[in-house]
Structure 1
Amino acid sequence: MCATAILFILLVLATTNVSAQQNVIKGRVSSHHGHPLSGVVVSLAGYGTQAMTDSTGSFKLPVSQQVNYTVTASHVGYKTQSKTVSYTGGSKSVTFILHPLNHELEEVHIQDNRALNRKQSESMNVEVVGKDFIQRNLGGSLMTTLSRLPGVKTIGIGSGQSKPLIRGLGFNRVVVTDKGIKHEGQQWGADHGLELDQFAASEVEILKGAASFIYGSDAIAGVIDVKPSLPPMPGTFGGSVDLIGKTNNSLYGTSVNVYGRKKNWFFDSRLTYQNYGDYKVPTDTVYVYDFKARLPNRYLRNTAGRESGLHFNTGYIGEHFRSTIYLSNVYSRSGFFANAHGLEPRQVDTLLHDQSRRDIQMPYQEVNHFKLINRSQYHTGKHLLQADIGYQRNFRQEFSIYVNHGFMPPIYPTTLNIPQNLEREFDKQVYSINARDVLQLNRHQLTFGFNAEHQDNQINGWSFLVPAFKQTTSGIFIYDKFALSETVLLHGALRYDYGRLQTFHYSDWFPSEGEFVTRANAFTRSFNSIVWSAGINYTPEGNFSLKANLGKSFRMPIAKELAANGVNYHYFSYEQGNQGLNAEQSYQADVTLGWNTNKWQIQLSPFYNYFPNYIYLNPTGRHDILYGAGNQVFNYSQSRVMRYGGELQVKYRVNNWLSAEALGEYLYAEQLSGEKKGFTLPFSPPPSLLLNVTYQPVQIKALKDAYLSVDYRLTAAQNNTVPPERETQGYRVMNIQAGTKVNFYNRPLMLSLQVQNVFDTRYLNHTSFYRLIQLPEAGRNIILSAKIPFGR
Structure 2
Amino acid sequence: MKLTLFLLLFSFAMNALGQNVSLSGKITDERNNPLPGVTVRLSPSMLATQSDASGYFTFPHVPAGHYSLTFSYTGYRQQVVPVHLVGGGTEVNINLYPAPQELGEVVVAGDRTEFRKREESMNVEVVNEVYIRRNLGGSLMKSLERQPGIKTIGIGSGQSKPLIRGLGFNRVVVVENGVKHEGQQWGVDHGLEIDQFAASQVELIKGAASFVYGSDAIAGAIDIKPHPVPPKHTLGGAVDIIGKTNNNLYGTSLNLYGRKERWFFDSRVTRLDYADYRVPTSRVYVYDYAVDLKDNRLRNTAGHETNLHLSTGVVEEKYRSVFYLSNTYSKSGFFANAHGLEPRRVNTEEQDASHRDILMPYQKVNHFKLINRSSFSLPGHEVEAELGYQKNFRQEFSPYVNHGYMPPLYPTRMRTPQTLEREFEKQVYSLNIKDNMAWGRHTLAAGVNTEYQDNSIGGWSFLVPAFRQFSAGAFLYDKFTLNEHWLLHGALRYDYGKIKITKYTDWFNSDVQTQEGTVSQALVRADSLQRQFQSFIWSAGFNYNREKLQLKANLGKSFRMPIAKELAANGVNYHYFSYEKGDPGLSPEQSYQLDVSVTWTQPKWSVQLSSFYNYFPNYIYLNPTSRHDYYYGAGNQVFQYAQSSVMRYGAEFEAKYRFLKHWSTEFLAEYLYSEQLSGEKKGYTLPFSPPPTAIINISYEPQFSRGPKNTYFSLDYRLTGSQYRIVPPEKKTPASQVLNFSAGTTLRVSRQELSISVQAQNLLNTRYLNHTSFYRLIELPEAGRNIILSLKVPFTLLRHD
TM-score, shorter chain, exceeding 0.5: yes
1:130 to 125, 128, 137: 128
Tell whether the 8 Å contact from 2:40 to 2:70 is kept in structure 1 after alignment. no
2:224 to 223, 226, 229: 226
Query: Which whole-Å CA distance do the structure 2 matches of 1:154 and 1:711 have between them?
Result: 18
Q: 1:551 Cα shift?
A: 0.8
Amino acid in the other structure paired with 1:184: E
Q: 1:97 Cα shift?
A: 8.0
Q: Secondary structure at the match of 2:350?
A: helix
Q: Tell me what 1:101 maps to.
A: none
Query: Which whole-Å CA distance do the structure 2 matches of 1:31 and 1:734 have between them?
Result: 44
Q: 1:423 Cα shift?
A: 0.1
2:739 to 730, 734, 738: 734
Tell whether the 8 Å contact from 1:51 to 1:382 is kept in structure 2 after alignment. no
Q: Tell me what 2:202 maps to.
A: 204
Amino acid in the other structure paired with 2:186: W
Q: Secondary structure at the match of 2:402?
A: coil
Q: Tell me what 1:333 maps to.
A: 331
Tell whether the 8 Å contact from 2:60 to 2:377 is kept in structure 1 after alignment. no
Aligned residue runs from structure 1 range 629-648, under 5 A: 629-648=634-653
Q: Secondary structure at the match of 1:133?
A: helix
Whether 1:116 aligns to 2:117 is: no
Q: Tell me what 1:454 maps to.
A: 452
Q: Tell me what 2:573 maps to.
A: 568
Are the structure 2 counterparts of residues 404 and 86 from structure 1 closer, same or farther at C-alpha, using a change threshold of 3 Å?
closer
Q: Secondary structure at the match of 1:409?
A: coil
Q: Tell me what 2:289 maps to.
A: 291
Q: 1:596 Cα shift?
A: 0.6
1:539 to 538, 545, 549: 545
Tell whether the 8 Å contact from 2:759 to 2:789 is kept in structure 1 after alignment. yes
Are the structure 2 counterparts of residues 83 and 672 from structure 1 closer, same or farther at C-alpha, using a change threshold of 3 Å?
same
Are the structure 2 counterparts of residues 25 and 329 from structure 1 closer, same or farther at C-alpha, using a change threshold of 3 Å?
closer
Q: Tell me what 2:36 maps to.
A: 35
Query: Which whole-Å CA distance do the structure 1 matches of 2:93 and 2:65 have between them?
Result: 11
1:615 to 613, 617, 620: 620
Q: Deviations over 1:635-692 (max 9, x none)?
A: 0000000000010000011122110000000000000000000010010000010010
Q: Tell me what 2:760 maps to.
A: 755
Are the structure 2 counterparts of residues 139 and 61 from structure 1 closer, same or farther at C-alpha, using a change threshold of 3 Å?
closer
Q: Tell me what 1:4 maps to.
A: none
Are the structure 2 counterparts of residues 82 and 683 from structure 1 closer, same or farther at C-alpha, using a change threshold of 3 Å?
same
Query: Which whole-Å CA distance do the structure 2 matches of 1:270 and 1:621 have between them?
Result: 51
Whether 1:784 aligns to 2:789 is: yes
Query: Which whole-Å CA distance do the structure 2 matches of 1:279 and 1:749 have between them?
Result: 29
Query: Which whole-Å CA distance do the structure 1 matches of 2:122 and 2:59 have between them?
Result: 34
1:628 to 629, 633, 656: 633
Q: Deviations over 1:614-647 (max 9, x none)?
A: 0000011110111222100000000000000010
Q: Tell me what 1:65 maps to.
A: none
Q: Tell me what 1:359 maps to.
A: 357
Q: Secondary structure at the match of 2:109?
A: coil
Which range moves more in the overlay, 464-473 or 623-632?
A: 623-632
Q: 1:699 Cα shift?
A: 1.9
Are the structure 2 counterparts of residues 469 and 40 from structure 1 closer, same or farther at C-alpha, using a change threshold of 3 Å?
farther
Unaligned runs of 5+ in 2: 1-17, 73-77, 98-103, 512-519
Query: Which whole-Å CA distance do the structure 2 matches of 1:606 and 1:176 have between them?
Result: 23
Q: 1:74 Cα shift?
A: 8.4
Q: Tell me what 1:706 maps to.
A: 711
Tell whether the 8 Å contact from 2:36 to 2:51 is kept in structure 1 after alignment. no
Query: Which whole-Å CA distance do the structure 1 matches of 2:374 and 2:41 have between them?
Result: 18
Q: Tell me what 2:679 maps to.
A: 674
Query: Which whole-Å CA distance do the structure 2 matches of 1:57 and 1:202 have between them?
Result: 20
Query: Which whole-Å CA distance do the structure 2 matches of 1:51 and 1:687 have between them?
Result: 38
Q: Deviations over 1:416-468 (max 9, x none)?
A: 11110000000000000110000011211100110000000000000000000
2:688 to 683, 690, 697: 683
Are the structure 2 counterparts of residues 506 and 695 from structure 1 closer, same or farther at C-alpha, using a change threshold of 3 Å?
same
Q: Secondary structure at the match of 1:117?
A: helix
Query: Which whole-Å CA distance do the structure 1 matches of 2:65 and 2:770 have between them?
Result: 64
Whether 1:695 aligns to 2:700 is: yes
Q: Tell me what 2:663 maps to.
A: 658
Are the structure 2 counterparts of residues 93 and 179 from structure 1 closer, same or farther at C-alpha, using a change threshold of 3 Å?
closer
Q: Tell me what 1:435 maps to.
A: 433
Query: Which whole-Å CA distance do the structure 2 matches of 1:759 and 1:552 have between them?
Result: 45
Q: Tell me what 2:252 maps to.
A: 254
Amino acid in the other structure paired with 2:523: V
Q: Tell me what 2:13 maps to.
A: none
Whether 1:556 aligns to 2:561 is: yes
Aligned residue runs from structure 1 range 597-608, under 5 A: 597-608=602-613
Query: Which whole-Å CA distance do the structure 1 matches of 2:107 and 2:173 have between them?
Result: 21
Are the structure 2 counterparts of residues 597 and 775 from structure 1 closer, same or farther at C-alpha, using a change threshold of 3 Å?
same
Aligned residue runs from structure 1 range 374-523, under 5 A: 374-513=372-511, 514-523=520-529
Are the structure 2 counterparts of residues 741 and 592 from structure 1 closer, same or farther at C-alpha, using a change threshold of 3 Å?
same
Q: Deviations over 1:478-532 (max 9, x none)?
A: 0011111111111100000000000001011111111111100001000001111
Query: Which whole-Å CA distance do the structure 1 matches of 2:193 and 2:560 have between them?
Result: 22
CA RMSD of aligned residues (A): 3.0
Query: Which whole-Å CA distance do the structure 1 matches of 2:746 and 2:314 have between them?
Result: 33
Q: Tell me what 1:95 maps to.
A: 94
Query: Which whole-Å CA distance do the structure 2 matches of 1:188 and 1:701 have between them?
Result: 52
Query: Which whole-Å CA distance do the structure 1 matches of 2:219 and 2:414 have between them?
Result: 43
Query: Which whole-Å CA distance do the structure 2 matches of 1:500 and 1:141 have between them?
Result: 33
Are the structure 2 counterparts of residues 536 and 31 from structure 1 closer, same or farther at C-alpha, using a change threshold of 3 Å?
farther
Q: 1:597 Cα shift?
A: 0.2
Are the structure 2 counterparts of residues 596 and 30 from structure 1 closer, same or farther at C-alpha, using a change threshold of 3 Å?
farther
Amino acid in the other structure paired with 1:520: A
Aligned residue runs from structure 1 range 573-592, under 5 A: 573-592=578-597
Q: Secondary structure at the match of 1:115?
A: helix
Tell whether the 8 Å contact from 1:51 to 1:381 is kept in structure 2 after alignment. no
Query: Identity of counterpart residues, as a percentage?
Result: 59
Amino acid in the other structure paired with 1:57: Y
Q: Secondary structure at the match of 1:346?
A: coil
Q: Secondary structure at the match of 1:352?
A: helix
Amino acid in the other structure paired with 1:170: G
Q: 1:155 Cα shift?
A: 0.0
Are the structure 2 counterparts of residues 109 and 604 from structure 1 closer, same or farther at C-alpha, using a change threshold of 3 Å?
farther
Q: Tell me what 1:596 maps to.
A: 601
Q: Deviations over 1:174-198 (max 9, x none)?
A: 0000000000000001100000000
Amino acid in the other structure paired with 1:95: I
Q: Secondary structure at the match of 2:344?
A: helix
Query: Which whole-Å CA distance do the structure 2 matches of 1:385 and 1:535 have between them?
Result: 25
Q: 1:228 Cα shift?
A: 1.0
Query: Which whole-Å CA distance do the structure 2 matches of 1:700 and 1:37 have between them?
Result: 27
Are the structure 2 counterparts of residues 770 and 574 from structure 1 closer, same or farther at C-alpha, using a change threshold of 3 Å?
same
Unaligned runs of 5+ in 1: 1-17, 45-49, 63-67, 99-105
Tell whether the 8 Å contact from 2:38 to 2:50 is kept in structure 1 after alignment. no
2:778 to 764, 770, 773: 773
Q: Secondary structure at the match of 1:187?
A: coil
Q: Tell me what 2:5 maps to.
A: none
Query: Which whole-Å CA distance do the structure 2 matches of 1:737 and 1:302 have between them?
Result: 29
Q: Deviations over 1:768-788 (max 9, x none)?
A: 000011100000000000001
Tell whether the 8 Å contact from 1:41 to 1:382 is kept in structure 2 after alignment. no
Amino acid in the other structure paired with 2:634: A
Q: Deviations over 1:578-610 (max 9, x none)?
A: 000000000000011011101111000010000
How does the TM-score come out when normalised to structure 2?
Answer: 0.89
1:245 to 243, 246, 267: 243
Q: Deviations over 1:112-154 (max 9, x none)?
A: 4322211110101111000110010000000000001000000
Tell whether the 8 Å contact from 2:36 to 2:52 is kept in structure 1 after alignment. no
